[in-house]
């Protein structure tokens, strides 16, 4: 069997890669040794950046609707036998994203991704299947040869693939076969975990809680469907006892002891396990520019900051569009080298942050100020919102025409108003993950003739260079009443005979009821002046370039340097 992409592992990282392949029409096989997706337990924290990403595949709103919101964080401690509340704080920094951190079982996220994948014929998911042998970098177009075997079948099948993704978790078979290792500390610190419906009068049970107690620390994470996840710190003796029979009663009793004098019992115990904390990292993310590792295969850490599933999906969100662009002949394989540079930096920061987070949760000596600042950091940098990819052929920093945007970072969102029907949209909602680059044209005050001429010249330049890979939007700061869609260049009102005009390409930067012009709310949010600018976004919503309305040549240079040659698309 021949495929373009072979993915080992149908966890969050593998399925996110599969989602890109499905959306872009790349022939892909995903294999997993399990019989089906995760049924219960595992990770449950979803960061706001992950929700933005899921929304770009059309599945974010469903996840958001089904999830539980963790809006507040409550800190408790036990002193001289008395349990006391120390502080209640915001669990999320409002304003950083249109979403906030929430919780939903990993299996439900995987199901959404599987539904998306199954809606496309080009990606096949094969369960109960493991790799048994691997050859890489063999001559020819299909550089990967893997032998796979399905449980209970004697026959071994050979798969020929152009690219291989090792998304097979912390004990990655692919990583081992490449001779790579996770390095770092495996701390001797055990945490028991269970999901249950709590029967309790503990007042903060629906808040995210950290409870410090001499018996062991406790983390409470409220979940969907009345569930609560409890992480409880275990001493070596209790950890060994739990490992003997995996009977969650031990964990429930420990939580009940920590929460005394409040009552705590567990009804409908869904899942339990033991988690040994260790921050480990594989420094090599790719080999021969043909095999790529992602997710837990390259970084493991504690579950304290709820990062596991998030960073894993964010890894392959970074990689997937690049692979698709290369396979479709829209870019040179050079761009794949940016994956390791961009995501290794994130993994290193994650592991460092996790060490601080473990200190914040478990540390006995940390002062309240330091702890609070680490918890704040969790909401911003650790959530994936502030990941900043370094300058490369994909991210080209220049100028300051959008003072509040940073090249290399993800594009933040604010409301804009459709020119045609006044409907408010979060600008990011428009930036769907299709593999297209996004060109945001901040056209300025279009009611001024000179400004309209600049936008017309820009549209002509885009047409001259056949930049069909771009999906263009115009955001103006004129009064909506003074702009007529049909006076605008065709780039911003594409037409096709069966659907008519596309009316969702032009937006005003202020509420429809406001009729003034000059920079309005959205322009101020991005730090764009009346003269406007162009913002080029990569298919993963990270800012690639910011320039003036006359700077289309610089964008052509970027596309030339990445080897984009699909000029007729
Ligand atoms: P995984 O989710 O591990 O997915 C890897 C996939 O590869 C799996 O489906 C596996 O079956 C498959 N696979 C592995 N080896 C092979 C092979 N040789 N052949 C074929 N398929 C293979 N995170 C938290 O935040 N909180 C938690 O409480 C928590 N609990 C966890 C409990 C367990 C038992 C595990 C394994 C993980 C837990 N995690 C938790 C971590 C979290 O689930 C991961 O960080 C996240 O799922 C990473 O996604 P991934 O796709 O990289 O890897």
pLDDT attached to residue 381 = 62
- Rounded to whole angstroms, how far apart are CA atoms 567 and 569? 6
Of the two residues 379 and 117, the one the predictor is more confident about is 117
Q: DSSP characters for 392-438?
A: SSS------SBTT--TTBBPP--EEEETTT--EEEGGGG---SS-EE
Atom in ligand 1 nearest the alpha carbon of residue 231: 28
Examine the domain organization and report whether 162 and 106 are in the same domain: yes
Both 313 and 378 in one domain: the answer is yes
Is there a single domain that holds both residue 115 and residue 158? yes
pLDDT of 46 above 90 = yes
Closest CA to 130 of 245, 33, 273, 56: 33
Q: Tell me the average pLDDT across 404-415.
A: 97
498 burial via Cβ count (<10 Å: 0-12, 13-18, 19+): exposed
Distance 180 CA to ligand 1 centre (A): 18
Closest Cα partner for 143 from 158, 163, 157, 159?
A: 163
ipTM of this predicted complex? 0.97
Going by the DSSP 8-state scheme, the letter that residue 559 receives in this structure is H
* 443 touches ligand 1 (CB under 6 Å): no
Q: How far is the CA of 40 from the centre of ligand 1 (A)?
A: 12
What's the mean pLDDT in 45-53? 95
Structure token pair of residue 129: 């299947």
Cα 276 from Cα 234, distance rounded (Å): 10
564 vs 164 pLDDT, higher one: 164
Q: Is 372 in the pocket of ligand 1 (CB under 6 A)?
A: no
* pLDDT confidence of residue 382: 61
Residue 272, in any domain of the structure = no
- CA of residue 175 to ligand 1 center, whole Å: 14
For ligand 1, say whether the CB of 177 is within 6 Å of any of its atoms.
no
What span, in angstroms and rounded, lies between the C-alpha atoms of 344 and 352?
Answer: 12
| Residue 306 CA, ligand 1 centroid: distance in Å | 14
Whether the CB-CB separation of 192 and 234 falls below 8 Å is answered with yes
Q: Is 95 left (phi over 0), alpha (psi -120 to 50) or beta?
A: left
Q: What percent of the chain has pLDDT over 70?
A: 95
Average confidence (pLDDT) over 168-187: 92
- For 6-40, letters b (16+ CB in 10 Å) and e give bbbbbbbbbbbbbbbbbbbbbbbbbbbbeeebbee
**Token pair recorded at residue 110:** 């995987």
Residue-level length of the chain: 569
494 shares a domain with 539: yes
- Nearest-CA residue for atom 30 of ligand 1: 42
Q: 20 and 157 share a domain?
A: yes
- Closest residue to atom 45 of ligand 1, CA basis: 308
Asked whether residue 524 carries a pLDDT value surpassing 60, the answer given is yes
**Total count of domains within the chain:** 2
The owner of tokens 């042998």 is 133
What pLDDT was estimated at residue 565? 64
C-alpha distances in Å from residue 541, one per residue of 432, 537, 552, 556? 9, 5, 19, 19
Q: Is 78 inside a domain boundary?
A: no
In a domain, 510, yes or no: yes
106 lines ligand 1 (CB under 6 A): yes
CATH at residue 490: 3.40.30.20
- Across the range 314-331, mean pLDDT stands at 97
Closest C-alpha to 313, from 14, 520, 4: 14
Pick the residue with more confidence: 281 or 567? 281
Residue 17: what pLDDT? 98
- Residue 395, token pair as written in the block: 């991210």
Determine contact, residues 9/32, Cβ cutoff 8 Å: yes
**429 plus 541 within the same structural domain:** yes
**452 inside domain:** yes
Say which residue, 463 or 187, is predicted with more confidence. Answer: 463
State how far the Cα of 320 lies from the Cα of 20, in Å rounded to an integer.
Answer: 5
Q: What is the mean pLDDT of residues 55-59?
A: 98
The verdict on 378 and 429 lying in the same domain is: no
Query: Ligand 1, from 110, 114, 296, 346: best to mutate by most atoms within 8 Å of Cβ?
Result: 296
**Average pLDDT in the chain:** 92
Residue 353, pLDDT score: 86
Q: Averaging pLDDT over each range in 210-214, 397-401, 449-453, which range is the top one?
A: 449-453
* Angle at which helices 12-24 and 308-327 cross, to 10°: 30
**134 pLDDT above the threshold of 70:** yes
For 468-508, how does the pLDDT look when each residue is reduced to its tens digit (9 = 90+)? 789 999 999 999 999 999 999 999 999 999 999 999 999 99
Contacts of 270 (CB under 8 A, 6+ apart): 40, 41, 194, 195, 196, 227
Question: Ligand 1 center to residue 506 CA distance, Å?
Answer: 43
How far apart CA 449 and CA 459 sit, in angstroms, is 15
Mapped onto helix, strand or coil, the DSSP state of residue 23 is helix
Q: Are residues 137 and 34 in the same domain?
A: yes
Would the CB of 308 count as within 6 Å of ligand 1? yes
306 lines ligand 1 (CB under 6 A): yes
Distance 296 CA to ligand 1 centre (A): 7
Mean pLDDT of the region 56-70: 96
Tokens found for residue 221:
């994470």
Q: Using an 8 Å Cβ cutoff, are 308 and 38 in contact?
A: no
Is pLDDT larger for residue 304 or for residue 262?
A: 262
Beta bridge partners of 161: 3, 144
Residue 464 lies in domain: 415-561
- 271 CA distance to ligand 1 middle (Å): 15
Percent of the chain with pLDDT over 90: 79
The phi, psi pair for 498, rounded to 5°, reads -90, -20
CA 528 distance to own-chain centroid: 27
**Does ligand 1 have an atom closer than 6 angstroms to the CB of 273?**
yes
Model confidence at 326: pLDDT above 70: yes
Which residue, by CA, sits nearest to atom 36 of ligand 1?
42
Phi, psi for 292 (deg, rounded to 5): -130, 140
Predicted pLDDT of residue 569 = 40
As a whole number of angstroms, the distance between CA 346 and CA 337 comes to 15
Cα of 10 vs centre of ligand 1, distance in Å, is 9
| Torsion over CA: 236, 239, 244, 247 (sign) | positive
* pLDDT band for position 514 (cuts 50, 70, 90): confident
Confidence of residue 365 (pLDDT cuts 50, 70, 90): low
Domain annotation covers residue 199: no
68-69 sheet: strands from edge to edge: 45-46, 102-103, 68-69
Identify the CA nearest to 550 among candidates 421, 462, 428: 462
pLDDT at 312: 97
Q: What phi and psi, each to the nearest 5 degrees, are found at residue 335?
A: -65, -20
Please check whether residue 13 lies inside any domain of the structure.
yes
Phi/psi of residue 508, nearest 5 degrees: -100, 155
pLDDT, tens only, 204-248: 999 999 999 998 899 999 999 999 999 999 988 888 888 888 889
Q: Is 164 in the pocket of ligand 1 (CB under 6 A)?
A: no
User: From CA 445, how far away is CA 510, in angstroms rounded?
Assistant: 12
Q: Do 476 and 379 reside in the same domain of the chain?
A: no
Nearest one of 345, 346, 328, 326 to 336, comparing CA atoms: 326
How much distance in Å is there from the Cα of 543 to the middle of ligand 1? 31
Is the pLDDT at 85 greater than 50? The verdict is yes
* Ligand 1 atom nearest to CA at 193: 28
pLDDT band for position 568 (cuts 50, 70, 90): very low
Give yes or no: residues 440 and 542 share one domain: yes
Which run of H or E residues covers position 267?
A: strand 264-281
428 shares a domain with 371: no
CA–CA separation, 340 and 294 (whole Å): 10
Mutate to test the pocket of ligand 1, among 133, 172, 308 (most ligand atoms within 8 A of CB): 308
Q: For position 567, what pLDDT does the model report?
A: 45
Domain contains 142: yes
C-beta separation of 11 from 110 below 8 A: yes
For residue 193 and ligand 1, the question of a CB distance below 6 A is answered with: yes
Inter-residue contact 69 to 33 (CB < 8 Å): no
Q: Is there a single domain that holds both residue 133 and residue 54?
A: yes
| DSSP symbol at 119 | T
Q: Is 192 contained in some domain?
A: no
338 CB near ligand 1 (under 6 Å): no
């Amino acid at each position: 069997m021949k495929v373009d992409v072979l993915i080992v592992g149908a966890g969050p990282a593998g399925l996110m890669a599969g989602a890109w392949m499905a959306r872009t029409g790349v022939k892909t096989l995903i294999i997993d040794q399990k019989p089906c997706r995760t049924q219960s337990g595992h990770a449950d924290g979803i960061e706001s950046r992950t929700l933005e990403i899921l929304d770009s595949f059309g599945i974010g709103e469903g996840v958001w609707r089904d999830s539980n919101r963790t809006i507040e964080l409550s800190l408790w401690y036990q002193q001289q036998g008395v349990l006391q509340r120390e502080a209640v704080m915001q669990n999320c920094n409002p304003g950083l994203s249109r979403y906030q951190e929430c919780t939903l079982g990993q299996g439900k996220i995987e199901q959404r991704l599987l539904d998306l994948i199954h809606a496309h014929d080009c990606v096949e998911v094969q369960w109960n299947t493991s790799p048994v042998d691997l050859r890489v970098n063999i001559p020819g177009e299909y550089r990967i040869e893997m032998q796979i075997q399905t449980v209970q079948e004697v026959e071994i099948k050979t798969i020929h693939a152009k690219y291989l993704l090792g998304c097979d978790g912390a004990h990655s078979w692919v990583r081992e076969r490449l001779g790579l290792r996770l390095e770092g500390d495996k701390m001797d610190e055990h945490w028991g975990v269970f999901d249950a419906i709590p029967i309790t009068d503990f007042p903060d049970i629906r808040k995210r809680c950290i409870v410090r107690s001499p018996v062991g620390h406790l983390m409470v994470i409220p979940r969907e469907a009345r569930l609560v996840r409890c992480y409880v710190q275990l001493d070596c003796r209790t950890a060994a006892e739990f490992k003997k029979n995996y009977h969650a009663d031990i964990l429930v009793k420990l939580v009940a002891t920590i929460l005394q004098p409040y009552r705590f019992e567990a009804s409908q115990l869904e899942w339990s396990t033991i988690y040994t904390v260790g921050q480990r990292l594989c420094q090599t993310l790719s080999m021969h520019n043909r095999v790529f590792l992602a997710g837990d295969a390259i970084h493991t850490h504690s579950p304290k900051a709820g990062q596991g599933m998030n960073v894993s999906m964010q890894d392959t969100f970074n990689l997937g569009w690049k692979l698709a662009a290369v396979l479709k002949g829209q870019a040179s394989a050079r761009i794949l080298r940016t994956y390791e540079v961009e995501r290794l930096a994130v993994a290193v920061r994650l592991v460092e942050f996790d060490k601080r987070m473990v200190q914040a949760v478990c540390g006995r000596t940390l002062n309240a100020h330091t702890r609070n600042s680490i918890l704040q950091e969790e909401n911003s940098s650790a959530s994936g919102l502030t990941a900043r990819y370094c300058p490369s052929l994909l991210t080209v920093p220049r100028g300051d025409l959008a003072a509040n945007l940073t090249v290399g970072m993800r594009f933040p969102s604010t409301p804009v108003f459709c020119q045609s029907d006044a409907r408010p949209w979060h600008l990011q909602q428009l930036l769907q993950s299709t593999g297209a680059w996004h060109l945001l044209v901040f056209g300025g005050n279009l009611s001024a003739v000179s400004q309209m001429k600049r936008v017309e010249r820009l549209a002509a330049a885009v047409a001259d260079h056949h930049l069909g890979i771009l999906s263009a939007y115009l955001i103006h700061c004129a009064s909506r009443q003074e702009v007529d869609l049909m006076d605008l260049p065709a780039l911003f009102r594409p037409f096709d005979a069966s659907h008519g005009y596309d009316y969702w390409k032009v937006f005003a930067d202020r509420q429809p009821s406001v009729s003034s012009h000059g920079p309005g709310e959205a322009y101020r949010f991005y730090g764009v002046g009346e003269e406007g600018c162009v913002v080029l976004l990569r298919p993963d919503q990270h800012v690639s370039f910011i320039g003036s309305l006359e700077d289309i040549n610089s964008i052509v240079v970027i596309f030339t340097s990445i080897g984009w040659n699909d000029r007729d698309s």
